[in-house]
A = this chain, B = another copy of it.
Amino acid sequence: MKLYDTPLAPNPRRVRWFMAEKGITDIEIVQLNLIQGDHKTDDYLGRAGLPNVPALEMDDGTTITESVAICRYLESLYPEPNLFGRDPKETAIIEMWTRRGEMLVATPMMLGVRHTHPAMAVLETQNPTIAEYNKAAAIRAMKVLDRQLADNEWLAAGRLTIADIVAFIGIDFGRLIKLRPPEELTHVGRWHAAMSARPAAKAAM
């Protein structure tokens, strides 16, 4: 297998973090330079279908994109530690929190950063209305996480799962525009510190 990866972007970081938690080291990593347009070559588009990174090339040559689909596939090959759920109920609760982390936090934060950070102007016609709308949405969503983390060490299933990885990386991307969790969200603060201290955080910068 081959993982097509790129630094800095949040979605590839999910897969690197996931692999670090599992201790996966036997997948070839191919680094793409997005500024140089490595993800827009005919070869890459022919494999991945879209100019999206990350992508995983399976052993039979099939290539998939979408970070969470890639991680779930890797879970089938490297089942421990379990990060997607051990039974249908756990799987459902973890997927619920993964989706909340992604759609309520990570997607608005990504749009907030893209429409704010000067270096992202090459990717997007930046619009301050869209920037503010999305930054406000990301902050509102952190309050939802804070309520959950008030009574729970992790977002779902009583242990670190894909939900924590997706939500943390979404929040952490805000660093690029100095948008950090509000200090009054003490439970998010505690969880954010615990995530930042994991070996996987360093492995998957």
Contacts and interface: CB of A to CB of B under 8 A. Distances in A.
A91 to B, nearest CB: 7
A99 B129 contact: no
A30 interface: no
Interface in A46-66: 49-50, 58, 60, 62, 64-66
Number of identical protomers? 2
A116 to B, nearest CB: 15
A123 interface: no
A66 to B, nearest CB: 4
Contacts of A70: 92
A204 interface: no
Contact of A64 (B77, B92, B148): B92
A72 B50 contact: no
Interface in A73-128: 73, 76-77, 88-89, 91-93, 95-96, 99-100, 103, 107, 127
B72 A93 contact: no
B130 A96 contact: no
A103 B65 CA distance: 13
A147 B89 CA distance: 36
A64 B50 contact: no
A183 B193 CA distance: 51
Given A127-B133, A129-B127, A66 B95 contact: yes
Interface in A19-40: none
Contacts of A205: none
15 contacts: A49-B147, A50-B144, A62-B89, A64-B93, A64-B96, A66-B99, A68-B99, A69-B93, A69-B95, A69-B96, A69-B99, A72-B88, A77-B88, A127-B133, A129-B129
